Amino acid sequence: MNLLAAVNLKEKFLLNKTQTVADTFGTPAAFINTLLPNAYIAAGLIVFALLVFGGFSIISSGGDPKGLEKGTQAITGAVIGFLVIFASYWIIQIIQIVTGLQILSF
């Protein structure tokens, strides 16, 4: 019945022919250290795209209240998203200082 217990996941997940995922990311912390900086970059690109889209919507609305509202909502969402990203970055920095752990390694 326990077929999943017989599978060695360390050997099954390969990054290339010789290197396993477990060799690269030995702990969950190593995986998170790789994931977080990339997530911040992706979030920054999304914020930029929302700002451009919102600005374009406002400019091209031509006085139409629906287009103006759509652009305003996009910009508001981008600003709120930026504040969440900014706060999470500084919370992680505070955790690094308090605990002495290296979470983000840019």
**What does the domain layout of the chain look like in residue ranges?**
30-106
More confident residue, 45 or 7: 45
Residue 1 has pLDDT above 70, yes or no: no
**Helix (H), strand (E), coil (C) string for 37-78:** HHHHHHHHHHHHHHHHHHHHHHHHCCCCHHHHHHHHHHHHHH
Cβ-Cβ contacts under 8 Å for 31 (sequence gap 6 or more): 25
According to the model, what pLDDT value does residue 62 have? 86
According to the model, what pLDDT value does residue 5 have? 58
Residue 10 has pLDDT above 70, yes or no: no
Residue 60 has pLDDT above 80, yes or no: yes
Q: What's the mean pLDDT in 15-37?
A: 79
Q: What's the mean pLDDT in 60-84?
A: 93
More confident residue, 23 or 90: 90
According to the model, what pLDDT value does residue 15 have? 77
